Amino acid sequence: MKETLQKMQAHLGKVRDLMMAGAVLSWDRETYMPQGGAAGRARQLGTLSQMAHELFVSDEVGQWLETLAPYEAEQDFDSDESSLIRVTRRDYERERRVPSELVGELARAASLGQQTWVRARQESDFSIFQPSLEKLVALRIRWAECFDYGESIYDPMLDFFEPGLTTAKVQAIFDEFRPPLVELVAAIAERQGRVDAGCLEGNFSEGAQWELGLEALRLMGFDFECGRQDRSAHPFTTSFSSNDVRITTRVDPRSIASALFSTIHEGGHALYELGVSPALDTTLLGNGASMTIHESQSRLYENVLGRSLPFWRYFYPKLQARFPHFQDVELETFYRAINRVQPSFVRVEADEVTYGLHIILRFELEQALVTGELAVADAPAAWNAKMESYLGLTPPNDTLGVLQDVHWSGGMIGYFPDYLLGSMLSVQLFAKAREGMPDLLSQIEAGRLADLLAWLREKVHTHGRKFTLDEITRRVLGTNLSPQPYLNYLRERYGEIYGLGS
């Protein structure tokens, strides 16, 4: 049995090496690759994806999994070995349904798509990106049709990023969340004059912003021997092993908040990947478990921690030291500014309260795109109409509208809901962490974030892909993911800032 497991692990180690090589090639494409490299890179990524897939779905993996079933049943559910077999089986059963050629084709289209998306953004012209998106949507539909989905063709797309998630489940949670959220947004809108975010605008040296971001990362516990930050058109995190995790950001000289909060957000993702048990490093379990859990980590650092008063009690003097602009700005003024609630165009720069509406918009548009209700050509208009209806704003151009997110250009459809679900989970996790560490806020005020990280490592990070979202929430929280704690958190933080009687 041990021998079969070793054989399978050696085989899956190669699959993983090919996948990680693909991740390096994608990272390079987003950070340093000259334009001319686009065609070659798409070919290379297509081949890597297709070969990794062929290797993974080979018959022998199926035979090993069958042979190992009784062994798996004997092992502790939590053990690395049992989890490896269990999760590999889940992946295998999903991937066996998809032809390897389609996987290769999707990878090539995604690689070319990201290039046309960058150009379309530069020119703020959706029509440059439209043919790529049409191809990607068609391929993603072909991919979803490989599955026996229930009600919606959107289901397998959600499941890909969050195993077990369905359109109906997301809908139920969003239905519970949306009315009170809209109410909160409206209540705050009536008191808009109460917060002035003018101090966040100015002319902020890109170099000093970069250094501030690195300082925040160091404070969070990001290990620069095992990772780095670079620039890209859209911030992202990628991992090549638990000892080499890369994040990216972009810098806007006119805004102090843009790069910094993106850096902290990606830093949260990175800490998760860096915290995966080294024992899982050469296996398919050596990454974060799902995108909801991933976003719970990034949104926890970005918002629950990163926009909190205790954090800024410690970190504001560091920011002031780098930017004389803030010498005469009170901490309280700054804190209120970074928490100003104001409908805006760009999701990644949205405040926490209106953020949910950005996600709900995407959840609805994605469904319309993949069910064929909405033609890709009509996506910009549909986007703008929903922005007007949900946030009262019409994007002045496509870069601030339908072209703002990188996801679709990479063939990623069905990811967005996880941002909001992850935000919900982040609040539940932080509350649980405080239960175990009553002085957590004082620690944060003192710039000590190590205990928080240790708690997250133990409860979440170290397990990699061993457990599902439900398994994690049940074992860490003793309950499931729910929107109510998140709503209470939003009401409390923003109620206080905007003086809404509770």
Closest CA to 185 of 354, 355, 13: 354
Residue 10's Cβ-count burial label (10 Å; 0-12, 13-18, 19+) is exposed
Stretch that binds its own copies, among 37-45, 73-81, 211-219, 292-300 (CB under 8 A): 37-45
Neighbour count for residue 97 (Cβ, 10 Å): 13
| Structure tokens belonging to residue 50 | 């297709």
**Given 4, 5, 24, 347, the residue binding its own copies (CB under 8 A):** 24
Query: Is 48 near its own copies (CB under 8 A)?
Result: yes
* DSSP per-residue string spanning 72-125: HHHS-TTSHHHHHHHHHHHHHHHHTTS-HHHHHHHHHHHHHHHHHHHHHHHHT-
Do the Cβ atoms of 265 and 249 come closer than 8 Å? no
Query: Is 9 near its own copies (CB under 8 A)?
Result: no
Q: How many residues bind its own copies (CB under 8 A)?
A: 39
Query: Is 59 near its own copies (CB under 8 A)?
Result: no
Alpha-helical regions (H) of 221-351: 257-274, 291-299, 309-322, 331-338
Residue 263 beta carbon to its own copies: minimum distance, rounded to whole angstroms: 17
Query: Is 462 near its own copies (CB under 8 A)?
Result: no
Q: Which residues are catalytic?
A: 266
Query: Is 40 near its own copies (CB under 8 A)?
Result: yes
> Residue 393, by phi and psi: left (phi above 0), alpha (psi -120 to 50) or beta?
beta
Query: Is 34 near its own copies (CB under 8 A)?
Result: yes
Q: Compute the half-sphere exposure of residue 104: CA atoms within 13 Å on the CB side of its CA.
A: 14
Whichever of 206 and 230 has its CB closer to its own copies, that residue is 230
Whichever of 53 and 86 has its CB closer to its own copies, that residue is 53
Do the Cβ atoms of 424 and 192 come closer than 8 Å? no
Residue 160 beta carbon to its own copies: minimum distance, rounded to whole angstroms: 24
Stretch that binds its own copies, among 56-64, 190-198, 237-245, 476-484 (CB under 8 A): 237-245
DSSP 475: H
Alpha-carbon distance of 483 to 424, in angstroms, equals 6
Query: Is 20 near its own copies (CB under 8 A)?
Result: yes
Query: Is 11 near its own copies (CB under 8 A)?
Result: no
Alpha-carbon distance of 180 to 177, in angstroms, equals 6
Whichever of 266 and 351 has its CB closer to its own copies, that residue is 266
**Given 116, 124, 282, 344, the residue binding its own copies (CB under 8 A):** 282
Closest CA to 460 of 311, 275, 282, 321: 275
Under rule CB under 8 A, which residues in 214-233 are in contact with its own copies? 223-228, 230
**Given 36, 193, 324, 501, the residue binding its own copies (CB under 8 A):** 36
Closest CA to 170 of 357, 368, 390, 421: 421
**Given 5, 9, 13, 146, the residue binding its own copies (CB under 8 A):** 13
Stretch that binds its own copies, among 32-40, 134-142, 167-175, 329-337 (CB under 8 A): 32-40
Query: Is 44 near its own copies (CB under 8 A)?
Result: yes
Strands 237-241 and 227-231, by their bridges, are unpaired
* Cα distance between the two ends of the chain: 61
SS3 call for 438: coil
**Given 8, 12, 30, 41, the residue binding its own copies (CB under 8 A):** 41
Whichever of 248 and 404 has its CB closer to its own copies, that residue is 248
Whichever of 230 and 470 has its CB closer to its own copies, that residue is 230
Alpha-helical regions (H) of 437-482: 440-445, 450-459, 469-477
Residue 62 beta carbon to its own copies: minimum distance, rounded to whole angstroms: 21
Whichever of 245 and 304 has its CB closer to its own copies, that residue is 245
**Given 4, 9, 21, 314, the residue binding its own copies (CB under 8 A):** 21
Contact characters 166-205, its own copies, x per CB under 8 A: ----------------------------------------
Q: 237 - beta bridge partners? A: 247
Under rule CB under 8 A, which residues in 240-259 are in contact with its own copies? 240-241, 243-244
Query: Is 439 near its own copies (CB under 8 A)?
Result: no
Long-range CB pairs of 357-361, under 8 A, 24+ apart, other chains included: 357/181, 357/182, 357/185, 357/390, 357/391, 358/391, 359/416, 359/417, 359/419, 359/420, 360/174, 360/178, 360/390, 360/420, 361/386, 361/387, 361/390
Residue 25 beta carbon to its own copies: minimum distance, rounded to whole angstroms: 5
Residue 22 beta carbon to its own copies: minimum distance, rounded to whole angstroms: 8
Q: Which residues contact 9 (CB under 8 A, 6 or more apart)?
A: 84, 282, 283
Residue 32 beta carbon to its own copies: minimum distance, rounded to whole angstroms: 6
Residues of this chain that bind its own copies (CB under 8 A): 13-14, 17-18, 20-22, 24-25, 27-28, 32-37, 39-41, 43-44, 46-48, 51, 223-228, 230, 240-241, 243-244, 281-282
